[in-house]
Amino acid sequence: MLQEGVNELKSGILEIDGDIVKVTGFTREEMLHRHLKSGSQCFSSKGLYTYQNLEFHNIQNNALIIVRKKENELSRHQFKPIHKETIQYKEFKDGVEKTFSLTFTIRKSTYSEHFHLLSEKLSELFDCKEKLDQYLQEKFNIRCSY
């Protein structure tokens, strides 16, 4: 349940307190920064969740998620779209070569070297650009310039 809530945030702060995560949501990154700077109560949502390990690569485009514990920042997560493309590729299905179309977005992490490949059919996280490029070449026989 926490994972789904985090994925829906436009931006937010997750404060870990033992087995509980206090989530404060904001309508955009600027409101989160205003809250951090001046203490402004400009949040759009608040919630309490049971702690669980989270994956942050499926958060919304441009959403800034800050994870804290005892008011000390542990990490920041944000993915910005850098490339969108529609490709045609071929696969064998039931012994017959078929052509498929796929629209995907490549997103770059603001706070790490990670890249995220996202489409309706897949969501893959890569440690670096080279690993993403290798995946695209092997899986779809394409090279992207981004």
pLDDT at residue number 146: 82
What is the rounded CA–CA span in Å between residue 114 and residue 6?
Answer: 19
Is the entire prediction scored with pTM above 0.85?
yes
Give me the residue spans of the domains in the chain. Answer: 2-77, 79-140
pLDDT at residue number 105: 98
pLDDT at residue number 71: 87
Cβ 105 vs Cβ 119: under 8 Å:
yes
Cβ 107 vs Cβ 79: under 8 Å:
yes
Handedness of CA 123, 139, 85, 145 (dihedral sign): positive
Strand order across the beta sheet in which 115-119 lies: 79-93, 96-109, 115-119, 123-126
Residue ranges for the chain with pLDDT beneath 50: none
Mean pLDDT, the chain, integer: 95
